[in-house]
Structure 1
Amino acid sequence: MTQKKTEAISEETESEHNPEPGTELARGYGASPGVATGPARVIKDIDDAGQITEGDVIVTEMTAPDMVPAMQRSTGIITDNGGMTSHAAIVSRELGVPAIVGCGDATEALSDGQRVTLDGEKGTVVIGEPKSESESTLDSESTPERTAETDRTNGSIDDSAEYVPTTATEVKVNVSIPGAAQRAADTNADGVGLLRLEHILLSTGKTPDQYVADHGEEAFVKEISEEIRKVADAFYPRPVRARTLDAPTDELAELEGGESEPIEHNPMLGYRGIRRSLQEPEMVKLELRAFKRLHDMGYDNLEVMFPLPNDAEDVRRARELMDKVGIDRDAYDWGAMIETPASIRSIDEIIDEGVDFVALGTNDIVQFMLAVDRNNAMVADRFDNYHPTILEAMAEVIEACNEHDVDTTITGQSGSDPEMAKFLAEQGISSLSSNIDAVDDVRRVVARAEQELLLNAARDASDDSTLLE
């Protein structure tokens, strides 16, 4: 009896240390769709990212901009921290690499070299290879089959891969990495609604100050202009809206020269965006010189956008910096992000400063209005794009801009959500900017929403005509 009990305990212990293939090891938020299998590479120090080789699955606490080359080599990405708007989520979607974020303890639960499979849609990580066709068939009762009808219901339609509906509401695309520009352009998006300049700058591995100190101002301007040019070329003549630097101090602190960055308890509320640019005008003028250089080269599709203004005064000071650099505001469109409660309340005054467009940055709007840290997995379930106050705020901005003939767009994660796209199209937004993998679905949803609006308008007109008779 004792021997049998000992054997049972031994088998149980062995099972714990050598779990069966298919055993779930970690679970988080599916951030970039797709299934990937490969050896897990647990990265606890950013300096070890260079060890990532083709086909590896990156497992780390949180990705950073200078990890992008490693992310490009990987077959999948898993992080302990972060939500759907984190660096890992944004970049993985752009690269088309399956990813799961906010797992909590993946770096402890997974062993280096362990072969794992991650599902970037379900948010699960399991041991070994993906299920065989026969196993998948057995699961078909619990996993509804994807059909054209369910896709229509879910707002994800694929009636024809060839057909691209024409919409009055433009559907643009977000770009962070110039190397992904052609992939983004191939979606037939109407332009780039957001080109994030910080990913270009941080990929150098140095803070902007350190880069200028090491290589000089001209080299800095050249670096920026050449990277932006890759995107402008891929999309020409479609417009490209590039945003000036908006990197929080904790990301800059990881780079060479980052030891001089201030230590902030909440960098997302700190020294970033236009507030840093206005405090360090000589640095942002170098960024603006890169824009002017491209304008002078004939890139009339390049537009300037300033992040995180609170009010008209911030926008006015940014406009004056453009004037000092010599950017012709009559020839090239420029605008501002609307991301804080104060900027929403100040929208009329911001419009009066002469902006050609405003962009709703929902990632920040939601975190600031709901007091939810967008990179904190502990409160990720409270990051609610559909909270009534968020919807009301966006509708108010769109209405004010439409009254003054100022274009509006949305650039946050919400721009990739078909349901949100429908709501915004109904509000009269000028354009939406989506992730690369969402452009087609968003365009089809917008087309259907516009058709419904036209049909309802025709019915109302018919009813009015009948009443007059």
Structure 2
Amino acid sequence: MKNTVREEMTMGTHVQWFEDLRRGDVATVGGKNASLGEMVATLGEQGIKVPGGFATTADAFRAYIAHNNLNARIADTLSALDAHRIDLHEAGATIRRMIREGHWPDDILAEIKAAYAELSARAGVPNVSAAVRSSATAEDLPDASFAGQQETYLNVEGAEALLGACRRCYASLFTDRAITYRRLKGFDHSQVALSVGVQRMVRSDTGGSGVMFSLDTETGYPDMVLINAAWGLGENVVQGAVTPDEYQVYKPFLDKPGLTPILEKSLGAKEKKMIYGRDGHSTRNVPTSKRERAQFVLSDAEILDLARMAATIEKHYGQPMDMEWARDGETGELFIVQARPETVQSRADAAGFRTYTIGDKGNTLLTGLSVGAAIASGPVCVIESAKDIDRFVDGAILVTSITDPDWVPIMKRAAAIVTDHGGRTSHAAIVSRELGLPAIVGTGDATHILHDEQEVTVSCAEGETGFVYEGICDFTVEDIALSDMPETKTRVMLNMANPSAAVRWWRLPSGGVGLARMEFVINNAIKAHPLALLNPDQLDEDTREKIAALTAGFADNEAFFVEKLAMGLSRIAAPVYPEPVIVRMSDFKTNEYADLLGGRGFEPHEENPMIGFRGASRYYSPAYAPGFALECRAIRRLREEMGFDNVIVMIPFCRTPEEADRVLEVMAANGLRRGENGLQVYVMCEVPSNVILAEDFAKRFDGFSIGSNDLTQLTLGVDRDSGELADLFDERNPAVQWMIESVITRAHAVGAKVGFCGQAPSNDPDFARLLVGYGIDTISVTPDSFLSVKRNVAEAEG
């Protein structure tokens, strides 16, 4: 009997099963349902699980509208809106009410009921719980995203409840946001129909769910999968009602056995979760427990499984994708419940990009997740309720708790958007990207800290963290055309410190990263002194509590340090892979180490930390050796477990060859042996002894990297931080130039490479030309000066 019912429905015009649909059926069942059908029919054997279901057709929608004589009434209402006789809110409410009050044609009613009975029979229950999703026939086109504009209803149970949900989906074709979006994009309202997808519910109410993209949403970097996750049903993530966990995965290593290429794991607040209602159907939100907030939703294995699914789906569709996923809390299975083309970064101009650089900054008022790598200034307009939308001031900074999709009409009039809640994959973030607006989401308390008419600057140009600064700050905008890049024999590399900003520069044709500063990652991502993490019993209670909050979600304090440091460095290594990345081991001075959380009890006081207990001398000293062991573990994880074998280790402030021997011995004892698994070890050339004994150092290291600040300081005897001596600090002094030329000549004579990673070539074009004349192998500069230095080098090479 089941097969007979199935055959009749397949041949009908009003209901189609997912497995009978393909992605080309957008005109019949809309983009969302066509994509579900494509995955059910073609990707199951590749491990992509999609909950089964069926879709009502666009013809069913048109028949419903015609059966209730609504075409003319809808057209008249929209004409009244266009003529400004009624406002948007009244027009939308009127049309939605007409549709909700309609009656089903008998044949459509019978087909939907029969299909629901079949879906229930397949699930082995009388009335299967279903997700009822709208799918417009014009949605998910290559140049437009209709995501979130129509309604979704979860945990719908019973035929009558299903029919009511279908009516409400039809009505949602005329929400205020959908009407506005179609007008903005030039779509004819009468040409857009709506299909309804009815899909078996995944019990993610007791599991977790979220959204993922097969590229980096902010930069278009194609080798990354971005995953957001929260407890319970996924609507809270999509709506931006919670701040979710965020995971980043490096796609090229997903098919390499044994690797764990997770670039980032960021614990979200996950303030609440959506679960089934008390009546056994519908849904409700409840607060999450302290334990849930302190735990990652996904394990590493699940993160990698989802990332592989994203890569598989992207490969099948031949384009970057935006997907929703759910984990069943009863079985632990991972499902894909939606997939649509990504419509913003995939259409960006690949031949160039625009960069924003902020100048003098006011006080930092707030931070959150940045959306869109731009900067905007203006007065604040705080709107906490949709009923107050009419008082929004054009060109203001919109500040709200959640940027609800209903607010699209005013979002496009804002200079920037700041929200209390939400993640980078929330609907608010998606719409902000499409509108080209900078947005900062998940600030926590923007609506409490900022006030109307307050002048602020919103900066999303400093990496993954967005900043709200007090006042109107100066900033510059530059368009970089990649076609203007000349070829050079001397490799021009990048200086990198901030992992969250590294991916912004993935399009630059650099020779790799000449200097990645480990201490920046420790200071910003780890924040605690490594010895404080290892010895919590020696800390006061307040510090222990702060460290416990930092390390939430990780197995222990050591795992926190090792994983966070490895992941931070991986985000610098990934965008340039397989080009080399030279990671300098920690080079804090004692006063800087002391400023880390819990650090004061583990650091000596020094009158002159600049030339004190820093760099190589720390690594073999009993006073810091356990901390250095953690650094080595992080490098091993980075190279061997994550796969970034392009990483080269560099030792800073190494005063003598004998000290070099001791450091290399300690590294080997911690699993980092020079030459093993292709490991290269460089030394910073910043102490005059590195030049004077260049041949001896070259026997122990694979290359030198000239740190011009310290080399200048120690050659001239000038404190580089002294304002009174600023005029004497000159990297072009003949004595400093002699040092630079000498080490290059002597290192080359014994086959060692030499790079330059100081600031001088970024600031002084003539200095770059000077280095080329000396025969330098590589010059490493700040990303914003890469193009100018590249041109200077090309000119110097003639």
**1:408 CA drift (Å):** 0.5
Correspondence for 1:189 among 501, 510, 520 = 510
**1:321 CA drift (Å):** 2.0
Q: Structure 1's 246 and 55: CA in aligned 2 closer, same or farther, altered over 3 A?
A: farther
Give, in whole Å, the separation in 1 of the partners of 2:559 and 2:481.
Answer: 48
Q: 2:532: which partner in 1?
A: 210
Q: 1:426: which partner in 2?
A: 773
3-state SS of paired residue (2:717): coil
Q: Structure 1's 159 and 409: CA in aligned 2 closer, same or farther, altered over 3 A?
A: same
Q: 1:252: which partner in 2?
A: 593
Q: Is contact 2:761-2:768 (8 Å) kept? A: yes
Q: 2:634: which partner in 1?
A: 290
User: Is 1:238 the equivalent of 2:579?
Assistant: yes
**1:162 CA drift (Å):** 1.7
Q: Structure 1's 55 and 383: CA in aligned 2 closer, same or farther, altered over 3 A?
A: farther
User: Is 1:306 the equivalent of 2:647?
Assistant: no
Q: Is contact 2:761-2:767 (8 Å) kept? A: yes
Listed one character per residue, the Cα deviations across residues 165-219 of structure 1 (whole Å, up to 9, x for unaligned) are: 1111100001111111112333221100000000111122211211333543233
User: Is 1:179 the equivalent of 2:500?
Assistant: yes
Q: Is contact 1:175-1:184 (8 Å) kept? A: no
Correspondence for 1:366 among 677, 697, 712 = 712
3-state SS of paired residue (1:424): helix
**1:160 CA drift (Å):** 6.2
User: Is 1:335 the equivalent of 2:682?
Assistant: yes
Listed one character per residue, the Cα deviations across residues 271-321 of structure 1 (whole Å, up to 9, x for unaligned) are: 111111221323212211211222213322011000000121121112112
Q: Structure 1's 36 and 305: CA in aligned 2 closer, same or farther, altered over 3 A?
A: closer
User: Is 1:395 the equivalent of 2:741?
Assistant: yes
Q: Is contact 2:531-2:599 (8 Å) kept? A: no
3-state SS of paired residue (1:378): coil
Give, in whole Å, the separation in 1 of the partners of 2:668 and 2:497.
Answer: 27
The one-letter code matched in structure 2 to 1:421 is: A
Q: Is contact 1:249-1:263 (8 Å) kept? A: yes
Give, in whole Å, the separation in 1 of the partners of 2:520 and 2:770.
Answer: 30
Q: Is contact 2:718-2:728 (8 Å) kept? A: yes
Give, in whole Å, the separation in 2 of the partners of 1:52 and 1:183.
Answer: 19
Q: 1:463: which partner in 2?
A: none
Give, in whole Å, the separation in 1 of the partners of 2:358 and 2:638.
Answer: 40
**1:436 CA drift (Å):** 1.1
Listed one character per residue, the Cα deviations across residues 349-387 of structure 1 (whole Å, up to 9, x for unaligned) are: 10122x111100101111111222222233222210100
Alignment: residue pair count: 326
Give, in whole Å, the separation in 1 of the partners of 2:578 and 2:360.
Answer: 39
Q: 2:695: which partner in 1?
A: 348
**1:36 CA drift (Å):** 5.0
Q: 1:105: which partner in 2?
A: none
Q: 2:619: which partner in 1?
A: 277
The one-letter code matched in structure 1 to 2:600 is: E
Q: 2:666: which partner in 1?
A: 321
**1:415 CA drift (Å):** 3.5
Q: Which piece of structure 1 moves more, 277-286 or 396-405? A: 277-286
Give, in whole Å, the separation in 1 of the partners of 2:648 and 2:490.
Answer: 19
Q: 1:227: which partner in 2?
A: 568
Q: Is contact 2:531-2:626 (8 Å) kept? A: no
Q: 1:268: which partner in 2?
A: 610
**1:258 CA drift (Å):** 2.5
Structure of higher CA gyration radius: 2
The one-letter code matched in structure 1 to 2:703 is: F
Q: 1:82: which partner in 2?
A: none
Give, in whole Å, the separation in 1 of the partners of 2:472 and 2:568.
Answer: 35
Q: Is contact 2:683-2:704 (8 Å) kept? A: yes
Q: 1:406: which partner in 2?
A: 752
User: What percent identity do the matched residue pairs reach?
Assistant: 31
3-state SS of paired residue (1:421): helix
The one-letter code matched in structure 2 to 1:409 is: G
**1:116 CA drift (Å):** 6.1
More helix per residue: 1
3-state SS of paired residue (2:725): helix
Q: Is contact 2:584-2:649 (8 Å) kept? A: yes
The one-letter code matched in structure 1 to 2:686 is: E
3-state SS of paired residue (1:242): strand
Q: Is contact 1:212-1:220 (8 Å) kept? A: no
**1:35 CA drift (Å):** 6.4
TM-score by length of 1: 0.64
TM-score by length of 2: 0.38
Q: Structure 1's 185 and 315: CA in aligned 2 closer, same or farther, altered over 3 A?
A: farther
Q: 2:725: which partner in 1?
A: 379
Alignment of 1:89-168 (within 5 A): 95=462, 115=471, 161-168=482-489
Q: Structure 1's 327 and 35: CA in aligned 2 closer, same or farther, altered over 3 A?
A: closer
Listed one character per residue, the Cα deviations across residues 47-96 of structure 1 (whole Å, up to 9, x for unaligned) are: xx666799799xxxxxxxxxxxxxx99xxxxxxxxxxxxxxxxxx9x949
**1:221 CA drift (Å):** 1.4
Listed one character per residue, the Cα deviations across residues 418-448 of structure 1 (whole Å, up to 9, x for unaligned) are: 2111111111111011011111111111111
Q: Structure 1's 118 and 376: CA in aligned 2 closer, same or farther, altered over 3 A?
A: farther
Q: Structure 1's 95 and 409: CA in aligned 2 closer, same or farther, altered over 3 A?
A: farther
Q: Is contact 1:311-1:349 (8 Å) kept? A: no
Q: Structure 1's 341 and 211: CA in aligned 2 closer, same or farther, altered over 3 A?
A: same
Q: Structure 1's 389 and 164: CA in aligned 2 closer, same or farther, altered over 3 A?
A: same
Give, in whole Å, the separation in 2 of the partners of 1:187 and 1:160.
Answer: 10
Which ranges of structure 2 fall in alignment gaps of 5 or more residues? 1-355, 369-374, 379-438, 441-458, 464-468, 537-555
**1:255 CA drift (Å):** 2.4
Give, in whole Å, the separation in 2 of the partners of 1:445 and 1:55.
Answer: 32
Q: Is contact 2:754-2:778 (8 Å) kept? A: yes
Correspondence for 2:796 among 449, 460, 463 = 449
Which ranges of structure 1 fall in alignment gaps of 5 or more residues? 1-32, 42-48, 58-71, 74-91, 97-111, 121-157, 452-469
User: Is 1:200 the equivalent of 2:521?
Assistant: yes
Listed one character per residue, the Cα deviations across residues 133-189 of structure 1 (whole Å, up to 9, x for unaligned) are: xxxxxxxxxxxxxxxxxxxxxxxxx99652211111100001111111112333221
Give, in whole Å, the separation in 1 of the partners of 2:761 and 2:617.
Answer: 25
Q: Is contact 2:514-2:755 (8 Å) kept? A: yes
Give, in whole Å, the separation in 1 of the partners of 2:596 and 2:790.
Answer: 38
Q: Is contact 1:212-1:219 (8 Å) kept? A: no
Q: Which piece of structure 1 moves more, 202-211 or 228-237? A: 202-211
Q: Structure 1's 291 and 172: CA in aligned 2 closer, same or farther, altered over 3 A?
A: same
Give, in whole Å, the separation in 1 of the partners of 2:360 and 2:573.
Answer: 35
Give, in whole Å, the separation in 1 of the partners of 2:484 and 2:689.
Answer: 42
The one-letter code matched in structure 1 to 2:633 is: R
3-state SS of paired residue (1:409): strand
Q: Structure 1's 56 and 423: CA in aligned 2 closer, same or farther, altered over 3 A?
A: same
More strand per residue: 2
Q: 2:436: which partner in 1?
A: none
The one-letter code matched in structure 2 to 1:242 is: V
